[in-house]
């Protein structure tokens, strides 16, 4: 063991993690390495028991059992064929408007968000179904790509969201209340995305030309029936999962199990369920869950050393000493989260930062639920702010090469939607009821 000041240790540990990520190592490696290295320097031979105990407690968390179940539900729905039916139904209704196909993309992303909860699946599905339809009809590439990324990332905010399942135990906030608190901000973002698209396409009609009339002449009855057939099964699934939480029938973990079972029923109803689909779904769910648990375990161990060595107090003193009182401290926290989003995956940010900053919410006089949702909405930007912008890479990897989509097109397209997120954050500050109203209506 060596004697090292908490201030110096804070700098060394955080810089070590950031340097490891920038060099190209997966996040779990530098986080685990810094925790182990400085753990031995500070605690000596006692560090294995400390780290083992924290990792053991994390992976045996009952609440986190919802992660593989919600991932399974999302992947199964991806394979069920519901996406294509929803897109076709919305296409018949909105394709005649300027920017109509971009609106369809965002609305489809909103609906998928309430079913899938995994950004990779949502963005990939939209890239496969929506992006070719827009570009083949002369849509501006940046607008089309931005719509896919923005609509696809709503899945990490609108329940059932894996991010909310992870955030709750880290901050000691009810996952069920987080789910209810996320609905209004999620729908607000969706509405703001649609407003931006409508305004942009009204000002620049070449950005999103309407589909020719001969391609969309479908009787009203036919359109209505198609929309009902696509939406009704999805709505029943959403109600089965989130309705049981809202009504106090089941906690998120049991609701996730209901959703996993219902997703298999939906896939079977659309005749897409077989052993291969089940096998692939289980494999993908296991892969995503293993990644989250690996990063979470390493981060939880890192935070144990970080806080135990007094580094958490250093961060708290820096934040609490920010000019501007509690709002200045809040702005500092939001800025730190925003900047970390440029370099670190959201999983690492939640596992590392939340245990450090969440206890400050009541000290600063903020509702922990509102405070948590502000961080979650902030993290929406991390999916669209390069260099570490997973939505951009999911789109780039899923887009058909023949469409000629470049990284420049995608990056130019996402920035207006990032601006929408910033505006949504300001609205949630001015009107906190956007977040707190629905959780207050829950049946305990």
Cα 49 from Cα 378, distance rounded (Å):
35
Identify the three-state secondary structure at position 431.
coil
Q: CA distances (Å), 93 to each of 58, 83, 152, 227, 314, in order?
A: 47, 16, 21, 9, 55
In this prediction, residue 54 carries a pLDDT of 73
Q: Over the stretch 57-91, which tens digit does the pLDDT of each residue have?
A: 777 888 888 889 888 988 888 788 777 888 888 88
Nearest by Cα to 332 from 357, 367, 303, 301: 357
What DSSP string runs through 148-201?
HHHHHHGGGTSSS-HHHHHHHHHHT--HHHHHHHHHHHHHHHHHHHHHHHHHHH
Q: Is the peptide bond before 160 cis (omega within 30 degrees of 0)?
A: yes
Cα 294 from Cα 310, distance rounded (Å):
25
42: confidence class by pLDDT, cuts 50, 70, 90: confident
In this structure, of 17-21, 229-233, 329-333, the range with the lowest mean pLDDT score is 229-233
Q: Over the stretch 139-153, which tens digit does the pLDDT of each residue have?
A: 999 999 999 999 999
Nearest by Cα to 276 from 67, 76, 81: 76
Sign, CA dihedral 303-304-310-312, equals positive
Q: Are 79 and 272 in contact (CB under 8 A)?
A: yes
Residues 6+ away with beta carbon under 8 Å from 378:
334, 337, 338, 341, 421, 425
Q: Are 163 and 418 in contact (CB under 8 A)?
A: no
CA R_g for the chain: 22
Residues 6+ away with beta carbon under 8 Å from 227:
89, 90, 92, 93
Q: Over the stretch 108-157, which tens digit does the pLDDT of each residue have?
A: 999 888 877 778 778 888 888 899 989 998 999 999 999 999 999 998 89
What DSSP string runs through 369-413?
HHHHHHHHHHHGGGGTSSSS-HHHHHHHHHS-GGG---HHHHHHH
Here the contacts of 432-438 (C-beta below 8 Å, separation 24 or greater) are 432/367, 432/370, 434/184, 434/185, 434/188, 435/181, 435/184, 435/185, 435/369, 435/370, 435/373, 435/374, 436/181, 436/367, 436/369, 436/370, 437/184, 438/180, 438/181, 438/183, 438/184
61 compared with 191, residue with greater pLDDT:
191
Phi, psi of 386 (to 5 degrees): -65, 160
Q: Give the mean model confidence (pLDDT) for residues 164-190.
A: 92
In this prediction, residue 43 carries a pLDDT of 79
Phi, psi of 359 (to 5 degrees): -65, -15
In this prediction, residue 53 carries a pLDDT of 76
Asked if residue 236 has pLDDT above 60, the reply is yes
Total residue length of the chain: 444
Distance of CA 33 to the CA centre of its chain: 27
Task: For residue 81, give the DSSP letter.
Answer: T
In this prediction, residue 181 carries a pLDDT of 94
Q: Over the stretch 279-295, which tens digit does the pLDDT of each residue have?
A: 999 998 898 888 888 88
Helices (DSSP H) in 270-324: which residue ranges? 275-308, 311-320
Cα 160 from Cα 178, distance rounded (Å):
10
In this prediction, residue 444 carries a pLDDT of 56
Identify the three-state secondary structure at position 5.
coil
H/E element holding 147?
A: helix 141-153
Cβ burial of 220 (10 Å; 0-12, 13-18, 19+) is exposed
Cα 86 from Cα 70, distance rounded (Å):
20
424 compared with 284, residue with greater pLDDT:
424
Mean pLDDT, the chain, integer? 88
Q: Over the stretch 262-276, which tens digit does the pLDDT of each residue have?
A: 889 888 888 889 999
Render the burial of 7-37: b for 16+ CB within 10 Å, e for the rest. Answer: eebbebbbebbeebbeeeeebbbbbbbbbbe
Cβ burial of 156 (10 Å; 0-12, 13-18, 19+) is buried
In this prediction, residue 1 carries a pLDDT of 63
In this prediction, residue 443 carries a pLDDT of 66
Distance of CA 394 to the CA centre of its chain: 13
């Amino acid at each position: 063991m060596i004697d090292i000041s908490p201030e110096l240790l804070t700098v060394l540990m955080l810089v070590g993690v950031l340097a490891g990520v920038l060099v190209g190592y997966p996040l779990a490696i530098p986080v685990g390495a810094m925790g182990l290295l400085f753990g031995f320097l500070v605690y000596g031979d006692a560090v294995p028991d400390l780290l083992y105990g924290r990792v053991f407690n994390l992976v045996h968390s009952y609440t986190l059992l919802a992660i593989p179940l919600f991932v399974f539900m999302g992947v199964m729905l991806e394979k069920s064929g519901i996406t294509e039916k929803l897109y076709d139904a919305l296409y018949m209704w909105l394709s005649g408007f300027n920017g109509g196909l971009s609106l369809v993309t965002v609305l489809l992303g909103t609906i998928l968000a309430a079913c899938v909860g995994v950004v990779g699946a949502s963005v990939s599905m939209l890239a496969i179904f929506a992006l070719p339809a827009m570009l083949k009809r002369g849509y501006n590439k940046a607008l089309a790509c931005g719509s896919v990324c923005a609509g696809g990332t709503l899945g990490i905010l609108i329940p059932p969201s894996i991010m909310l399942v992870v955030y709750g135990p880290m901050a000691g906030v009810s996952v069920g209340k987080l789910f209810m608190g996320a609905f209004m901000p999620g729908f607000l973002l969706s509405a703001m995305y649609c407003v931006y698209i409508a305004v942009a396409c009204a000002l620049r009609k070449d950005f999103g030309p309407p589909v020719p009339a001969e391609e969309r002449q479908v009787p009203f009855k036919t359109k209505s029936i198609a929309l009902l057939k696509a939406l009704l099964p999805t709505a029943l699934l959403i109600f089965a999962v989130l309705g049981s939480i809202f009504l106090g029938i089941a906690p998120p973990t049991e609701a996730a199990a209901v959703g996993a079972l219902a997703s298999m029923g939906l896939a079977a109803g659309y005749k897409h369920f077989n052993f291969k689909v089940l096998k692939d779904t289980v494999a993908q769910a296991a892969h995503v869950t293993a990644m989250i648990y690996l990063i979470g375990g390493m981060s939880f161990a890192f935070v144990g050393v970080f806080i135990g060595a007094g580094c958490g107090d250093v961060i708290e003193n820096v934040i609490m000493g920010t000019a501007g009182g509690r709002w200045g401290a809040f702005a500092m926290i939001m800025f730190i989260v925003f900047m970390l989003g440029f370099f670190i995956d959201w999983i690492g940010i939640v596992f590392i930062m939340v245990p450090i900053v969440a206890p400050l919410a009541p000290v600063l006089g903020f509702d922990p639920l509102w405070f948590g949702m502000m961080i979650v909405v902030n993290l929406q930007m991390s999916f669209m702010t390069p260099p570490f912008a997973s939505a951009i890479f999911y789109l780039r990897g899923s887009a058909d090469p023949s469409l000629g989509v470049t990284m420049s097109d995608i990056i130019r397209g996402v920035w207006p939607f990032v601006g929408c997120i910033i505006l949504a954050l300001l609205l949630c500050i001015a009107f906190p009821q956007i977040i707190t109203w629905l959780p207050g209506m829950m049946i305990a």
